């Protein structure tokens, strides 16, 4: 298999990220932590792609967005002189984008991996592997972990490990799918920017909840005794307390104290600390960073401004959440593969806008036409949308009330 040889690392000065206008220095421990992906959040826990995916709301958002894009077919069209477009169903790239981009990846898993990389790391990458004639025969997804992107005299070079070997590729052989905030090298990750502290707080609250129930759902308390305890008495009491009441299994034992001792609470209960309310807010806040309304990830809401019907909600989801991703993906594919050609690729989102059977029948009835006027779709076009065989003949033409009763030339 033909592959581009390893490239030079002679680079020009790069610019910093859109939201980070300072250079990384060795003295800045926070910048170093960010560089190695272990930057602690304000709540304490480190937020990384791995730890973030352990948060159910992050997993749900990534799964929903990546799954929605993965189910969209990518069609290859050719633009005619009059502006019409013709689908090239048998184009080689159509099979790579919709069936099998490489031997061990299906198209659905390929797109899910790319979208998840964009959401969690900021960018998704795929290398174009060509045969000796320069034709693309595989599209191999590449992990963004360890990817080094450099600007070499106005062109991007990509350095990463492929099959255990360090490789370098020119930008013409890499599909670089950017996220929001692309600065010429890399983009801004949702979990490292928009939802960084929210995810950290959610991790901290999950840890707190786990410790709360692990300790038997009891608060931290202090045992106050009248008079003075010596050290031996204190140690014996602590040991007896932990043995009798520590953990979930022991929480059922009754507490026995004498008249000279009393218990004082040192911590707030889950209810008093509004833990449940805080976790509900964090779900909404994290979903907002991903561009999703919380009701789409099973968070109950009394109302939504995204519409009342499934069609309106799907259209809003496509327009406001998926639209920016699809636009960037299409532009990357078209500029790398069809820049000087009349062909172009397009994600087809018809399935997301698919209405109920009743609504579709009503729309088809108007599209076909009838007594109220001519139609703009033929019966065969409608049947094709419903995956039904075509009839041909007069059914391949839109309804014309004037010529409706006139036989077709081949039906005389």
Average the pLDDT over 286-304 and give the result.
75
pTM of the full predicted structure? 0.72
Residues 130 and 174: their CA atoms lie apart, in Å, by 11
Q: Given a cut of 50, is residue 3 above it in pLDDT?
A: no
What pLDDT does residue 301 have?
56
The least confident of 239-248, 301-310, 388-397 is 301-310
Q: Given a cut of 80, is residue 222 above it in pLDDT?
A: no
**Which residues, other chains included, contact 269 with Cβ-Cβ below 8 Å and sequence gap of 6+?**
219
pLDDT in tens, 107-140: 999 999 999 999 999 999 999 999 999 899 999 9
Chain centroid offset of residue 362 CA: 34
- Pick the closest to residue 291 from 388, 189, 190, 151 (CA basis): 190
What pLDDT does residue 280 have?
75
Q: Average pLDDT of the chain? A: 77
What pLDDT does residue 1 have?
44
Residues 235 and 333: their CA atoms lie apart, in Å, by 69
pLDDT confidence band for 156 (50 / 70 / 90): very high
Average the pLDDT over 54-67 and give the result.
92
Contact call for residues 307 and 313 (beta carbons, < 8 A): yes
pLDDT in tens, 8-40: 444 444 444 434 444 444 344 444 455 555 566
Q: Given a cut of 70, is residue 198 above it in pLDDT?
A: yes
pLDDT in tens, 252-282: 444 555 556 666 554 445 554 455 566 677 8
The least confident of 110-119, 233-242, 344-353 is 233-242
**Hey, which residues does 159 pair with through a beta bridge?**
148, 168
Residues 314 and 330: their CA atoms lie apart, in Å, by 20
Residues 348 and 262: their CA atoms lie apart, in Å, by 69
What pLDDT does residue 59 have?
93
Domain ranges of the chain: 1-213+269-354, 221-266, 363-411
The least confident of 150-154, 225-229, 345-349, 392-396 is 225-229
- Pick the closest to residue 150 from 55, 316, 265, 15 (CA basis): 15
What pLDDT does residue 251 have?
47
What pLDDT does residue 305 have?
56
Q: Given a cut of 60, is residue 347 above it in pLDDT?
A: yes
What pLDDT does residue 211 have?
65
CA distances, 37 to each of 17, 40, 229, 268, 388 (Å): 15, 9, 49, 33, 52
Where are the strands (E) in 80-164, listed by range? 85-87, 123-130, 136-142, 148-152, 155-162
198 CB neighbour count, 10 Å cutoff: 26
pLDDT in tens, 352-375: 776 666 777 778 888 888 766 677
> Greater confidence, 187 or 379?
187
Residues 194 and 201: their CA atoms lie apart, in Å, by 13
What pLDDT does residue 28 have?
46
Greatest mean pLDDT among 17-31, 72-86, 299-313: 72-86
């Amino acid at each position: 298999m033909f592959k581009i040889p390893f490239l030079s690392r002679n680079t020009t000065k790069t610019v910093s990220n859109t939201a980070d206008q300072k250079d990384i220095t060795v003295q800045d421990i926070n910048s170093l932590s960010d560089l190695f992906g272990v930057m602690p959040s304000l709540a304490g826990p480190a937020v990384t792609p791995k730890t973030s995916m352990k948060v159910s709301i992050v997993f749900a958002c990534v799964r929903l967005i990546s799954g929605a894009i993965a189910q969209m077919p990518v069609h290859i069209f050719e633009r005619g002189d009059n502006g019409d477009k013709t689908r090239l169903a048998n184009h080689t790239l159509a099979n790579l984008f919709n069936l099998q981009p490489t031997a061990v990846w299906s198209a659905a898993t390929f797109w899910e991996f790319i979208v998840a990389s964009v959401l969690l790391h900021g960018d998704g990458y795929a290398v174009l592997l060509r045969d000796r004639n320069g034709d693309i025969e595989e599209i191999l997804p590449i992990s963004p972990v360890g990817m080094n992107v450099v600007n070499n005299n106005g062109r991007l070079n990509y350095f990463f490990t492929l099959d255990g070997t360090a490789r370098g590729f020119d930008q013409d052989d890499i599909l670089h799918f950017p996220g929001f905030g692309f600065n010429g090298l890399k983009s801004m990750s949702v979990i490292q920017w928009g939802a960084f502290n929210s995810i950290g707080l959610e991790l901290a609250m999950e840890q707190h909840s786990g410790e709360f129930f692990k300790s038997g759902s009891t608060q931290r308390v202090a045992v106050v005794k009248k008079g003075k305890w010596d050290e031996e008495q204190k140690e014996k009491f602590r040991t007896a307390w932990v043995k009798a009441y520590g953990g979930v299994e022991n929480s059922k034992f009754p507490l026995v104290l004498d008249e000279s001792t009393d218990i004082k609470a040192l911590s707030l209960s889950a209810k008093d600390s509004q833990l449940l309310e805080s976790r509900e807010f964090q779900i909404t806040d994290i979903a907002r960073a991903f561009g999703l309304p919380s009701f789409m990830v099973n968070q109950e809401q009394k109302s939504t401004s995204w519409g009342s019907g499934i069609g309106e909600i799907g259209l809003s989801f496509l327009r406001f959440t998926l639209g920016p991703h699809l636009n960037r993906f299409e532009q990357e594919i078209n500029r790398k593969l069809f820049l000087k050609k009349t062909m172009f690729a397009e994600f087809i989102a018809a399935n997301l806008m698919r209405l109920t059977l009743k609504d579709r029948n009503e729309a088809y009835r108007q599209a076909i036409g009838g007594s109220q006027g001519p139609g703009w779709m033929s019966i065969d076009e409608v049947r094709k949308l419903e995956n039904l065989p075509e009839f041909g003949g007069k059914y391949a033409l839109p309804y014309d009330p004037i010529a409706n009763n006139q036989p077709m030339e081949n039906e005389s």
